[in-house]
Amino acid sequence: MESLNSSDVLWDVIIIGGGHAGCEAAVASAKMGCRTALVTLNPERIGFMSCNPAMGGLAKGQLVKEIDALGGVMGINTDKTAIQYRRLNSSKGPAVRSSRAQCDKALYAQRMQEFLASQPNLIVLSTEVTELLLNKNSIKGVRMRDGSELHARAVVITSGTFLRAVMHTGFDQTEGGRAGDIAAQGLSKSISDLGFKLSRLKTGTPPRLHRRSIDFSRTTPQPGDDKPIPFSFYFRQKQFPILPQIECFITYTNPQAHEIIEKNFDRSPMYTGVIQGIGPRYCPSIEDKVKRFASRDRHQLFLEPEGLLADEIYVNGISTSLPRDVQEQFVRVIPGLERAEFIRYGYAVEYDCIDARQLKSTLESKDISGLFFAGQVNGTSGYEEAGAQGLIAGINAAQGVLDREPFILSRLDGYIGVLVDDLVLKGADEPYRMFTSRAEYRLLLREDNADLRLSEMGHHLGLLADEEYRQFEQKREAITRGRQNLREFYFMPSEKTSLWLTSRGWSPLKDRISAEALLRRPEIGMSELGELGFSLSNPSPEVAEQIEIQVKYEGYIQRDLDLLAGVRKSEQTKIPSEFNYDDVFGLSNEIKGRFKSVRPETIGQAGRLPGITPAAVANLMIFLKMRETQEIERKKSLKVPLSPGIL
């Protein structure tokens, strides 16, 4: 750790918080050449998995892959510490397939801390930030609890669940953002004093049980994939997976457990008004499940080991804030858990978050230059959502310091763009969770092609090294060659080919057909083409999968690309930050109010705001075009050279 006697030092970027958002923000800033300080309450908890010991999941796997494609660290660290890989929805179409990996929890944090310690331009400082310092409308730095100051050109707040955080187990309350960690008490007031709207959200965690106390013979084993797929496109070890792979287990709640929970609603801080914060709808506590789904007599639970050598079993599915004795009662009537020993009881956490509608698409404040927010402080839920925001905020903090153009991923570019766009336009009145259904063009934004979509951007930013970029170029060229070979290879009608096809109940060939056309048949895959005599020259599994997806879904992909061409025009039509909506004729006061409160950055964003009609967007576009024409004519009359953006 460096000394804090550095108030005379001008840092480029300060990151507040060492969770998943903070790690990505710090690494991005440092990789881009900025002198970066990561300030955290406890450096030993950097990269810690506060809740479930896993990365990825439905739509979340896409986020991790996109982070990796851009040059982030989450995917690499997952591959270093994964103890079970599973691809979800593998039997469904590629648009909804998502990877998930169980990780060794302690090892994940350890490897992340080692990575940050070895990263040039990055220093970790152990202290608590209590106040943000401004110079007019620009960030100047931060003040610590002891009164010392750190000065910087950009500050990224990634405080997670720690702002004025309170943990609840029954009616017992303890200050802290998670078990074993204190809360950040001073920073909320400073953020609020700067004009940010704060609200309270709630998250929760289930009990951890001792491994030896569980009767696994009464549960159902859940193995990982036989052929696991790594999260990182570029991090490769000779041995994969790197760590031994283990099983998880499945069990279920039952009517007896539900009855115990129901009888103790009067002891729940959620149902007695003690907890005011709003919890996640899509990851409800067991109390919520019993209350909202009263007709169901059981809920699925996953018993997930927290590490190869760890005694703790994470009981995924029974997040709770009920009193300890009630937790013991209902857990011990669940099959396999009758003799469960509790290592840690479940609890809920209430914490402050901001209204993300006060942020730009860069995650910078619309009113305070150089101040960024990322992660759960923006109202999201999950490591993956936090890491994605941290990467965007860290990149843009560095871009500002380096006097470069802002880096914006739109919802047409990736799930990260969907996440950020949703937050800055709609905010979050409950913890936001990513789903594939949130992405309008999810067939284009698959996890398997994240590198093809984003790695060129990552290299241009300086996050993806030259060696990694060469790997990307080689893969892209291999896909191009493979598709060309498919188009040029023809199968002829023959007795052998006909016999092979008819033996499987498929119609024989009547004329010659290219390998590409044959691959479009739903029943034919790359392996079947191989049996018929076509093969690519030493393709990697990733290249073969990519070629097959591109060929089979080419029509749908092209349709979406054609639609995107029109949509991108509205995304690129910018609205000035100080635009006066009162000048636009034909807008109702209600619609003017909506525009003023959010201040959309583009016509595309304006059209996605709740309650905004197509007619209002059309009026806005007409007004902007008229104003642009008037500006061109004015400059012509004054013989002022026109900027490229006006032509």
The pLDDT assigned to 204 comes to 92
- The whole-model pTM stands at 0.92
Residue 612's contacts (CB-CB under 8 Å, 6 or more residues apart) are 591, 594, 595, 606
Which residues of the chain register pLDDT less than 50? 1-5, 644-647
The pLDDT assigned to 640 comes to 55
- Count Cβ atoms below 10 Å from residue 439 Cβ, excluding itself: 22
In 170-247, at which residue ranges do the beta strands (DSSP E only) sit? 172-175, 198-205, 208-210, 220-222
How buried is 411 (Cβ within 10 angstroms: 0-12 exposed, 13-18 middle, 19+ buried)?
Answer: buried
Phi, psi for 233 (deg, rounded to 5): -75, -20
Looking at the chain, the number of H-run helices and the number of E-run strands are: 20, 22
For residue 324, give both structure tokens. 């300890």
Q: Say what percent of the chain tops pLDDT 90.
A: 76
The pLDDT assigned to 613 comes to 87
Task: For residue 367, give the DSSP letter.
Answer: S
The pLDDT assigned to 641 comes to 59
Length of the chain: 647
| Domains of the chain (ranges, CATH numbers) | 10-82+111-204+351-461 (3.50.50.60), 208-347 (2.40.30.260), 466-559 (1.10.10.1800), 573-638 (1.10.150.570)
The pLDDT assigned to 21 comes to 98
How buried is 330 (Cβ within 10 angstroms: 0-12 exposed, 13-18 middle, 19+ buried)?
Answer: buried
For residue 448, give both structure tokens. 């398997």
| C-alpha to C-alpha distance for 430 and 287, rounded to whole angstroms | 17
Question: Please, what is the angle between helix 60-70 and helix 383-401, to 10°?
Answer: 30
| C-alpha to C-alpha distance for 292 and 608, rounded to whole angstroms | 31
Question: Please, what is the angle between helix 20-31 and helix 74-81, to 10°?
Answer: 120
3-state secondary structure of 491: strand
